Amino acid sequence: MNVEKRKELYSLHSLLGFLAMGKTGGNPPVSAVLTDLNGNVIEKAHTQEYGGNHAERELFSLLQKQHSLNQIIPKESPLSETNEADTSQKNTNSGVFLSDFILSVSLEPCTHFGKTPPCRDLVLESKPKELLIGWKDPNPLVMSGDWESYQEKGITVRLDPMLANTSIPYLQGFIKRMQTGLPWVWIKSATSKEGNYADSSLKKERVSSVEIDLYLQILRAKFDAVACGPNTIFIDEPSLHFRITEEMIRLAGLPKRETELIPFFEAATNLFTSLTKWARDTTLLHQLEEGKYQPYRVFVLDPKRLPSENFFSKQMELNDRYGEKKCIFFVIVDTINVEAEIFDLPFEIRNQMETLSLHPIFPIGKNDGDLFLKTLGKFGINSLLCEAGSFFPNFLNENLSDEDCILEIRNFEKSIPHGIPFVYQNEHILSEFKIGSNSVFIRKPKRST
């Protein structure tokens, strides 16, 4: 496989991982590509929505459905129509015999029975000449690195560093949750040219410009959960769902990366780079599968400043629209005494919260950021996007890791001269992008710099 074909392979893995991320639930968003020895793409797939096929199983399913048993059909591009090309391959009972082909997967094939059988069995049956793997699977249920069974079948197994780098922005959340029990956290804030996220009165006010809306909505679709804190809930009554409008598409600005050098395994910068690369081309696909990309909507409420009926009506409408209860409620309490604190909430408010969620209302202290993240991790949430003013920077500051990300969208055409500064505005900028009048700064959490 020559250099150009390798570049095409990694680009295809990036696209597949990008499309998978945000709709696989607790499963990792894995990409899988089958090529011939020259690098021509035979078939491609990614992990389906939670409970559906893993990437490898989806790939082999597509291979059998779309190709006759004595033909392999190469693809000239990731999104092109198929073109038939005869080969001399033979068949096995399980599908096409792949002795002259290369299977590349972003994450090691699973070895355990879950909602589907082990993907390793499919690979062993099909016998590709080579298996390229981006990352070993950190899931303790997987016998990671146990590759003798592949070698016994004559399958060469190799870890591919470039495939790992390509895949890290999509797998970072799963890897972190498997290793720590916590989701990958992004704290996001829109700021004025002065670095303020709101004026001193905290009135509801748009800060970022419309050119970036499409990108921020598709970014939201990439996360398993989106959270907001008490002030935002009380003032803005946000919906937090993923949506794309025709106006967003029409007004979307052209992105430009301002910083050139990126640390090799820097997941956050690579994810935003993928967003700038793939968002516009995949807008229609995201619109068609809007329901599958809906994140959990996580609300941290202050019992002294509860939202209005309008807030709960919006959340009920969203649950009805997508046919799934995706709200999770936390209530800040002075003590972790459920009976004294949670049940002191007005009955109608408590009843609406319980109706909107499949989970109980979680009491949480003002310094319980770790408990907050662990609770979400237990639900299989790999990635969390926090819509921030001042709450999450304070609430989660001691619980953030080096992998986590601070995302600031600074609009240099918006002025809030006497506002409230975003606490991370002066931290080191790891990477910068430009979209319209907005500069997008990716920073590391203050405590890790």
Greater confidence, 202 or 115? 202
Name which of 90-104, 138-152, 224-238, 297-311 the model is least confident about: 90-104
- Is the pLDDT at 96 greater than 80? The verdict is no
When pLDDT is cut at 50, 70 and 90, the band that residue 227 belongs to is: very high
**Domain boundaries along the sequence of the chain:** 3-169, 181-448
Q: What gap in Å lies between CA 109 and CA 128, rounded to an integer? A: 14
- Determine the pLDDT at residue 69: 43
- Determine the pLDDT at residue 438: 97
Q: What gap in Å lies between CA 264 and CA 255, rounded to an integer? A: 21
- Determine the pLDDT at residue 12: 98
- Determine the pLDDT at residue 141: 79
- Determine the pLDDT at residue 338: 53
- Is the pLDDT at 266 greater than 60? The verdict is yes
- Determine the pLDDT at residue 179: 95
State pTM to two decimals.
0.91
Digit-coded pLDDT (tens) for 121-159: 889 988 999 999 999 999 887 766 678 899 999 999 999
- Determine the pLDDT at residue 18: 98
CB-based contacts of 121, cutoff 8 Å, min separation 6 = none
Q: What gap in Å lies between CA 169 and CA 197, rounded to an integer? A: 27
**Strand, coil or helix: 85:** strand
- Determine the pLDDT at residue 336: 59
- Determine the pLDDT at residue 201: 84
- Is the pLDDT at 343 greater than 70? The verdict is no
Domain 3-169: what homologous superfamily?
Cytidine Deaminase, domain 2 (3.40.140.10)
Residue indicated by tokens 């990716």: 442
- Determine the pLDDT at residue 339: 56
Domain 181-448: what homologous superfamily?
Dihydrofolate Reductase, subunit A (3.40.430.10)
Picking from 164, 244, 192, the residue whose alpha carbon sits closest to that of residue 415 is: 192
Dihedral of CA 213/218/219/225: which sign?
A: positive
- Is the pLDDT at 9 greater than 70? The verdict is yes
Instruction: Look up residue 107 and give its DSSP letter.
Output: E
Name which of 210-224, 255-269, 366-380, 383-397 the model is least confident about: 255-269
Digit-coded pLDDT (tens) for 230-240: 999 999 999 99
Digit-coded pLDDT (tens) for 49-59: 988 899 999 99
Name which of 195-204, 269-278, 306-315 the model is least confident about: 195-204
Digit-coded pLDDT (tens) for 392-410: 999 999 999 999 999 999 9
Q: What gap in Å lies between CA 233 and CA 230, rounded to an integer? A: 5
**Strand, coil or helix: 305:** coil
Percent of residues in the chain assigned helix, strand, coil, to nearest 5? 35, 20, 45
Residue 154 φ/ψ, nearest 5 degrees = 80, 20
- Is the pLDDT at 358 greater than 70? The verdict is yes
- Is the pLDDT at 95 greater than 50? The verdict is no
Q: What gap in Å lies between CA 24 and CA 303, rounded to an integer? A: 33
- Take residue 92 and report the two structure tokens written for it: 């096995």
Digit-coded pLDDT (tens) for 11-60: 999 999 999 999 999 999 999 999 999 999 999 999 999 888 999 999 99
- Determine the pLDDT at residue 144: 67
- Is the pLDDT at 443 greater than 90? The verdict is yes
When pLDDT is cut at 50, 70 and 90, the band that residue 286 belongs to is: very high
- Determine the pLDDT at residue 344: 80
Q: What gap in Å lies between CA 114 and CA 106, rounded to an integer? A: 19
